[in-house]
Amino acid sequence: MLLASLMFAAMGACVKLASDLQASLPQIVLFRGIPSVLLLLIWAVATRRSLRPKSWRLHVARNVTGVSSMWLGFFAISALPLATAVSLNYTSPLFIAGWMLARDWKQRDMVRTVAVLFGFAGVLAILRPSIGADQMVGVLVGLAAGACSAMAMMQVRSLGRLGEPEWRTVLFFSCFVCFTGTVGLAINGWPELRPAGWLMLIGVGVFGLVGQLAMTRAFGLGSALLTAALQYTTIVFAAIIGVVFWNDIPDWMAWSGMALIVASGLLSTWRTYSESRVMQGKAAAPVSKGTPAQEEARRV
């Protein structure tokens, strides 16, 4: 997830620059998917990997929510200040936590929920977006992107538990991304681009490919809320890039936000480690034999 966060920070910068260089939204979406489709398809054919998914239903649901989140998020980046758009995109863990609380209210995990809330508070402290009345459409679109991203994350988790390899999940997702981008270009046409615009589009695709593979593996194998908390480190990487290349040094409140992000990740890590120790202890504990009826009930 840390690698994914670094790649997505770079991708977000490329999306914003490409939009400033007059690239259209369908162009950005199309280039987000092209490198993934080409490289993964060539690799799958060369290594004779099966392209048959384990569940078409989960892939369709993941692609609808994931691609919708991408379109909405890219639109928010182009319509809002970058800090505001990024902060709205990072509301997805809050939607995940809310869904988990609603699903199992009596046995909610308050430790991870508080960790995610601390992480989001850290994001707000770093970005401190200002929202005007003329930006409400972009704000609503950004929140919708966060909600769709939350649903996509949970479906990626389900695919991982089903045994679906991350490369196939990313390949199908990228094919759907390219399809929707092509449809958009067929409707709106292809705007002319300068060399710098082409370079930014290539950056969107390459950084997005690596980030998507890393994120898919993280959500497929790890704790959903822990991974969601760690994705906040995208803001930390963005701040470091700003200091190195633009001398954009964060103030004390921004550094405090980074500290909250780190604290949320550590808290979630501790919680996951504690749960693993408890589960190992239960597995090691002997189970006493009972009557045949009790044994049958235990197996059920």
Q: Quote the CA–CA distance of 182 and 32 in Å, as a whole number.
A: 12
- What spatial distance separates the first Cα and last Cα of the chain, rounded to whole Å? 37
Whether residue 33 lies inside any domain: the answer is yes
Q: Which residues contact 248 (CB under 8 A, 6 or more apart)?
A: 239, 242
Whether residue 294 lies inside any domain: the answer is no
Q: What is the per-residue pLDDT for 179?
A: 93
Compute the CA torsion angle 108, 114, 115, 118 (nearest 10 deg).
160
Whether residue 295 lies inside any domain: the answer is no
Lowest mean pLDDT among 21-25, 161-165, 271-275, 292-296: 292-296
Whether residue 266 lies inside any domain: the answer is yes
Tell me the pLDDT tens digit for each residue of 184-235: 999 888 888 889 999 999 999 889 888 877 877 887 777 766 776 677 787 7
Q: What is the per-residue pLDDT for 294?
A: 38
Whether residue 298 lies inside any domain: the answer is no
Whether residue 167 lies inside any domain: the answer is yes
Whether residue 87 lies inside any domain: the answer is yes
What range does the domain containing 154 cover? 2-284
pTM for this model (two decimals): 0.73
Q: Which residues contact 86 (CB under 8 A, 6 or more apart)?
A: 12, 77, 123, 127, 234, 235, 238
Q: What is the per-residue pLDDT for 287?
A: 43
Amino acid making up residue 183:
V
Among 162, 152, 186, CA closest to 67: 152
Q: What is the per-residue pLDDT for 163?
A: 83
Among 230, 205, 202, CA closest to 215: 230
**Pairwise pLDDT comparison (106 vs 247), residue with the higher score:** 247
Tell me the pLDDT tens digit for each residue of 37-49: 998 899 989 998 8
54 in the Ramachandran plot: left (φ > 0), alpha (ψ -120 to 50) or beta? alpha
Average pLDDT over residues 80-96: 72
Domain total for the chain?
A: 1
- Confidence label for 176 from pLDDT (cuts 50, 70 and 90): very high
